[in-house]
Amino acid sequence: MKAGRLLSLDVLRGFDMLFIMGGCPLALALCAAFGAPDGALARQFRHVPWEGLAFKDMIFPLFLFIAGASFPFSAAKRLAQGATRAALVGHVLRRGVALAVLGLCYNGLLAFDFAHLRVFGVLQLIGFAWTVAALLAIGFERRARLVLALALLLGPSALFWLVGAPDFPDAAPFTPEGNLGCWVDRTLWGGHILQPRFDPEGTAGLLASPATALLGVLAGDVLRSSLSGARKAAALFLSGALLVVAGLALSPVVPVVKALWSASFVLVTGGCSAMLLGAFYFALDVKGWRRGAMFFRVIGMNALTIYLAQHVVDFGKVSAFLWGGAVRLLPPDGRPVGMALAYLATCWLLLYFLYRKGIFLKV
């Protein structure tokens, strides 16, 4: 397959976004309803405070990986339609800037409170990382991309290992105090970061996250190769497993830290993302097992819409208005689960309406 749109990419993106638009609160409500609000399963749906990895910590890197995997398809389509490489570069740069501006608006740019405006954010990091990976994909052949991915993956962590934060010279290099990227955050950006000591989408992430997007590009290259469908899925799954093993092997030296996008974090999350993509691709695009796929595709086709809409629209109030009466009929212990389901249903129905009307927010 040389161009076109893979169902597995849309469905996997929708599966990922499900947890952003209410899946994690629903899972936590279910855990509480069954008497384990702080159990091992519940902890998977909360972010790890610093070092380590939970399922919720996979959501962001998986989305960035999918964005990278989609690029070879979109680039091939544009080139097939007659676009030049220069035009493709211009499109990539415009998209990256648009995502950064949307991210700043999400952070409160339109309030004009520039003294307290947070500079970094999820959309800014996605825009930057995807842009870097896309430009490298345009400028270099596939083998060179692999070398560049390794350099982006290992380079920042090597820098952090060798150069610590000047204001905490005795702190470990992969701690909030001792990390060089965190030092840049609090020194250069001051009151414009999320936390006093660092920003979780800050300088360290800007340096290292393009590796995740470029790993996604490499996965997209596999999907566009001449291999059979089953072999593509197997290649993704095997390479993903190897990345996970490499990340775990590296973790005693370079710990898994999401806020720093440490090399071990990129390897483990990139490996898990590749295995998930391989499994979804095999099930949906190779075997054609599509029952239930529409539910996730509706979300995946408008991922940016629901991410931004939740910041603007009070879906809690909307879902209470629509479903509150029905939820009150449930036993008291079941009402949190009912409201979590109502929130998710309200978001999905909006996206389904947009899907049926052919309305998709893209940049």
Q: Which is more confident, 241 or 2?
A: 241
Q: How confident is the model at residue 109 (pLDDT cuts 50, 70, 90)?
A: very high
Mean pLDDT of 292-306: 96
What is the per-residue pLDDT across 54-70, written as a single tens digit (0 to 9) for each? 999 999 999 999 999 99
SS3 323: helix
Phi, psi of 238 (to 5 degrees): -65, -45
Q: What angle do CA 78, 83, 88 make, to 5 degrees?
A: 75
Distances (CA, A) of 173 to 51, 262, 275, 320: 13, 11, 30, 47
Task: Note the pLDDT tens digit of each residue in 126-171.
Answer: 999 999 999 999 999 988 999 999 999 999 999 999 999 999 999 9
Does residue 280 have a pLDDT over 50? yes
| Residue 1's pLDDT band (cuts 50, 70, 90) | very low
Q: Confirm whether pTM is higher than 0.85.
A: yes
Contact (Cβ atoms closer than 8 angstroms) between residue 149 and residue 155: no
Tokens of 104: 């700043």
Q: What is the pLDDT of residues 85-106, one digit of tens each?
A: 999 999 999 999 999 999 999 9
Q: What is the pLDDT of residue 191?
A: 85
Q: What is the pLDDT of residue 2?
A: 40
Q: What long-range pairs does 345-353 form, CB within 8 A, spacing at least 24?
A: 345/319, 346/315, 346/318, 346/319, 346/322, 347/21, 347/22, 347/306, 347/309, 347/310, 347/315, 348/21, 348/295, 348/298, 348/299, 350/306, 350/309, 351/298, 351/299, 351/301, 351/302, 351/305, 351/306, 352/298
Mean pLDDT of the chain: 95
Q: Is the dihedral of CA 342, 24, 218, 284 positive or negative?
A: negative
Confidence category of residue 3, pLDDT binned at 50, 70, 90: very low
Q: Note the pLDDT of residue 4.
A: 54
**CB count in 10 Å sphere of residue 327:** 19
Give SS3 for 351: helix
- Report the distance separating Cα 324 and Cα 319, nearest Å: 7
Amino acid at 296: F
Tell me if 350 sits within 8 A of 359, measured CB to CB: no
The number of helices, as runs of H, and strands, as runs of E, in the chain is: 15, 0
